[in-house]
Structure 1
Amino acid sequence: MGGGRRREVLDAAVEVLATGGLRRLTYQAVDTTAGVPPGSTSNHFRNREALLDGIVAHLEALDREDWERGVGTLPAAPTGTPAPDDPSVPDGPEELATALEGLVRHLVGPGRHRTTARYALTLEAIARPAVGEALRRGHASLLDWGARVLKAMGSPQPEEHSRALAALLEGLMFQQVALPEDGFDPLPSIRTAVRAMLPESAGDAPGGRAGAAPATA
């Protein structure tokens, strides 16, 4: 079976985990949800630990795909620190806040099942350190991405600010997934945090667009 079948199995595993929790996560449940022949899941993942590790990696890959498709208008993670005039760097706090609002709305809306599955895995990590290690690797990758973008935008403490912003976003999403509110609006909280971390525009950052020296012949 090729990569397409493996992805079908993992998509189904995320759905099972999100709707039924870890107790419902069985080979049979995943096969049934995926609509694949019995035994397909076990052919790819020989034990439960391998299946859980596969789900963690799949969730991280889906997050990357969202960035690449421009969810929230932000780009895929750069390979290095982008320059302040790089088109991938949001132009100031308001643009970043609006982009992150879009991401949060996606992850509690169309991507809600993925968020719920991730929370189920987080609880499993309490008893299974190996799952926690996989989750930590994915989280560290996103924190690194955030720190590089925030640094390019002028944050004086990009690593600390990335951790704080990630904690805020996780809190907003958890609250909305666990205790949904009508009229959910994450933008004010995100805007307040981002404005406290950054200069008013990317051009105000050291070496940024507004402060860059003119080119000379």
Structure 2
Amino acid sequence: MPARTTSSTGRSDLIADAALVLLAERGMRGLTHRAVDEAAGLPQGSTSNHARTRQALLEAAVRRLAEREAQVLMPDGPPTEEYGDVDGVDGVLDGLSLALHRYLTAHRALLVCRYELALEATRRPELREFYDRAGAAFREPLVAMMRAAGSAEPERHALSVVAWCEGLMFSCAVGSYHASVPSRDELRKGFEELLRGMLGT
């Protein structure tokens, strides 16, 4: 159970983290203000005071999910335009394979949360807009990586990489390959086939 905290930021993170735990364990139906209070070890009504509506609670979960995904995928911060200049494609391959392997082996629950929230966003236009804004923070660094790798069409190639990653993550987290996570070397080989094929190298 998360430790109690008195700071406003700490309380917000505690509530949002508890919401993510519930989403992963119980799904969207299990996410209620009362359940978050219990999961976070907070007095009844604490979550309602922080996020008065369900929309506000969902936005808090999306925001926290984006923060935690960034810690997993980009622990050193987002890459810059110079990312990969030294190692070129190899540098991008190393970074992508490491990030994806880290996600699949140690943070599967975050993937389940993402799928729950993404599906809910298809039914809530106001959440869709918020969810898309949060996701944009990951798109721009990937475009920068594709540009650094020598792509003449970094936006289009970034979309292809995202589609490949999303399909693999879904299959390995909740799909037919959930019992078998590829090694980092296997992921790197898959990335290399995709990337070198797109770039013509």
Q: TM-score, normalised by structure 2?
A: 0.85
Offset at residue 89 of structure 1 (A): 4.9
**Does structure 1 retain, via aligned residues, the 8 Å contact 2:73–2:103?**
no
> Which one-letter code corresponds to 1:56 in the other structure?
V
The verdict on how the C-alpha distance between 1:110 and 1:117 changes in structure 2, with shifts beyond 3 A counting, is: same
Asked whether 1:53 is paired with 2:59, we answer yes
CA distance, structure 1, for counterparts of residue 181 and residue 36 of structure 2: 34
CA distance, structure 1, for counterparts of residue 24 and residue 191 of structure 2: 26
What are the superposed Cα offsets for residues 5-33 of structure 1, whole Å, 9 maximum, x if unpaired?
Answer: 11011111011011111000011211111
Offset at residue 154 of structure 1 (A): 1.1
Match of 1:33 among 36, 39, 45: 39
Q: Which residue of 1 aligns with 2:135?
A: 139
CA distance, structure 1, for counterparts of residue 153 and residue 74 of structure 2: 26
Offset at residue 199 of structure 1 (A): 6.9
What are the superposed Cα offsets for residues 150-199 of structure 1, whole Å, 9 maximum, x if unpaired?
Answer: 11221111000011101111111000111313252433322211222347
Asked whether 1:125 is paired with 2:121, we answer yes
**Does structure 1 retain, via aligned residues, the 8 Å contact 2:15–2:47?**
yes
Structure 1 vs Structure 2 CA RMSD: 2.1
Q: Which residue of 1 aligns with 2:20?
A: 14
The verdict on how the C-alpha distance between 1:36 and 1:163 changes in structure 2, with shifts beyond 3 A counting, is: same
Listed as ranges, the gaps of 5+ residues in structure 1 are: 201-217
The verdict on how the C-alpha distance between 1:90 and 1:41 changes in structure 2, with shifts beyond 3 A counting, is: farther
Report percent identity of matched pairs.
Answer: 32
Aligned residues, how many?
A: 190
Return structure 1 stretches of 4+ with deviation > 3 angstroms. Answer: 197-200
Q: Which has the larger radius of gyration?
A: 1
Q: Which residue of 1 aligns with 2:191?
A: 190
More helix by share: 2
